[in-house]
Structure 1
Amino acid sequence: MNHPRSLLTFSIISSLLLLPSLTYSATCTHLEKYKQDFEEIACINDHFMAAERDGKYGFINDNGTVLIPFEYDNTHWVSEEIIGIEKAGKYGLIDSTGKIILPPTYRHIAYFSEGLANVSDYDENGYIDKSGKLIVPLIYEYAEDFSEGLARVSMNDKSGYIDKTGSVVIALQYDIAEDFSEGLAAVSIDGRFGYIDTSGSVIVPLKYDDAKDFSDNRAVVIKGNQFGVIDQKGNVIVPLNFPYIYNFSEGLAAVYDEDGWYYIDTTGKHAISSPYQLADSFFNGLAYVATEDKRGYIDKTGQFAIVFDKDFLFPRRYSGEEAEITQGGKTFYIDWRKRFLRYAD
């Protein structure tokens, strides 16, 4: 669906670079000069640009000189200073000056987390560092990003955790294992969920039907179809008798019952009591909500900071990680999840 340009103006982020991790340099002064020469072009920094020509990707400098030939099938960010390049189904790495760090080698390179990136060849997964050196051999069937110093890996349908040297620190014994968050990770055996710490000790017994990540020292847990909230010792803060509760964010959580959506604080008390038809988590101080006659972003007092026009439609597609929107007399940016990012300058 097309949207009026007065209501929706995308930030200067090209669809060329796919991973939603970076905005391009706001001081890239040479982009316009070369736009007519390429099918797509995007700034890496003020002296280095990625471009597409005849369906292939390459890189030029601020003088238009080709630094890396137009021979790649795709390109994407893998860290704030490193770019993934694809050729013939294999990925490698270059830095933001155009230096090739790793020639196309792997079938997949994920975004770097805590200095390491998951790499894979079909069902074999391992990790490399930012120099392209293989740190953890490709021996796992499944591997995730590092979080709080550990990464969850799987083999023979069992999951556990390794450290950044590749040593197994928590045995591969769980049917399901989630990332560590605030020192704890949700794990499951035989359909029952609980929490372990980074040493592998069970902190909250495996007795729930589902368990979410900790946030603000609270976690949402589920039994049957009922949601509740526990603290990091397993104490029940909010009884398990709600149809739905979002994770805590910025000290508040959206809760749903027969009256609609409202917000509670980390003690379980009502913080914003007005029932909403829709309510999302707080992000950068604001949360998207909708009532029968109004929708927009509220602050933590429950007051509308931004009110949308009745005919406003969110963008269905994003050409980058954020979109600029003008509503309620204010111009601001949102991400693809409709979360408020910041007001325009």
Structure 2
Amino acid sequence: MKGFFNYLIKTLSVFCITAFSFCTGQTQENMKPVGILAGDEKKMYEILKECIAEKAINKSALHYFSECVIHDTSDKMTIGAYYYDENYYHENYYSPSSATYYASITFKKTQPEPDLPRGRGSVKTPSYGKPQEATAPPQFYLVVKDANDKRLYSSSYVLQKKSNQPFFTGNYYSESNFSKNVYNGNKVDKDLYPQNFDHAVFVNTFFIIASQKGKYGIQSSKKETMIPFEYESLQVFDNNFLAQKDSKFFLINSKNEKISQEMEKFPSLFEYSTTVNNIPQTKNIFLVKINGKQTFLDRNFNVLKPLVYDKIEYFNTKQLMLLATIDKKQVLVDYYSFKELTPRYDKITNLDNERLLIESNGKKGLADFTGKIILECLYDNIEIPLGSDYYTKPIKLLIEKDKKLALYANGQFLTKFEYDKISFRTNFLIVKKDNRYGTLDMNGNVLIACKYDSTQSNNTGTRLEFIKNGKAFEINENGEILKN
């Protein structure tokens, strides 16, 4: 029997590092103090810790909770651990969202199948004669596979161990699955932070940001108050903290010393992340308000632009242009030179990413993104009508003046200001003039003169009809009379 049990134990561990959230309350957890683990449970927990340490972001930041999760069924054993590691940042966040992680390893139970190793230290049965006796003790192997490696025919490994004794004694295991996930939120280890907090904003191995009686502060893992509980909000910002007090934002260090100017506005995590995702050039640039004026700060809180404008918005994402407001007027500003590109208008709108809709004294006009005037502010309304951006290239505009409409495209008017209504079909336009209906082609040429009383769909709903003196005339797909 001595040689019979010289079989190879292969434990394949799958290690997954993802941003998948392990949500609180999803499953009923069977928690067990680590201190009372024994036998295979204790061995499995130590293997789990070895895997975690091997793939840790920062080993000096590791801290394991004193309880682990145990699930033991007839076909598998799962053991899990909560722990703190390096601060985790969501994409393009300036402050970490969590430092709490959850890892687990699941061992599949199986029946023993002796495997007689071949080669040195093994029992070999030749094709003839008697078995040769082993000259070295048997060896047992534990292999931890990294599932992040997506190659089909080869793999990398998190952990590889060998022993001359079986790794487990209670059961036989054929494989295991190892996973590591960022925890959705901040789980507080009561052994490290036994105080009662209203709400934990962020927690790691070294400190916790939390609230007491509605005010936020920071407690160290040494049970010392780092930052008094006196702030409206607190967030990690690099090696310092972004604080809010009396509705003002500013940066403080770990000694609670203010190390930046005060700001009336600072972008939220979501606002900043959304901006950077849409405009990558704005990474590490913060749009803030100081003394009633908006400007930009870099990551070190240096003021990048003069305090000139009451309000600043990102306008053209490709060229990083800004829409600035000053004295109730709007102006287009280049971010890099911070020079004004247009005159100051009552209102500026991005019409179609190529032209600006400008407004002054209640009248509208057009300009390009360099500020060059295309149409002076002489018109009551300028709009892209419903269907124009879908059916026509280039985009047609409807321009209104003195309650009459004209069609505009390619820098010129295609019609006079003579229509009361213009609506788009797939291949033509329906127009109304002096309470009579007709059609135009897409270039503004008359197809059917405006002499019909009304419009309607035919009985099957498949065609448009014009009505004159009670008689219906069907219109084909090109806007022409189909029959009289």
Which TM-score band (shorter chain)?
A: 0.3 to 0.5
TM-score normalised by L of structure 1: 0.45
Largest Rg, 1 or 2: 2
More helix by percentage: 2
More strand by percentage: 1
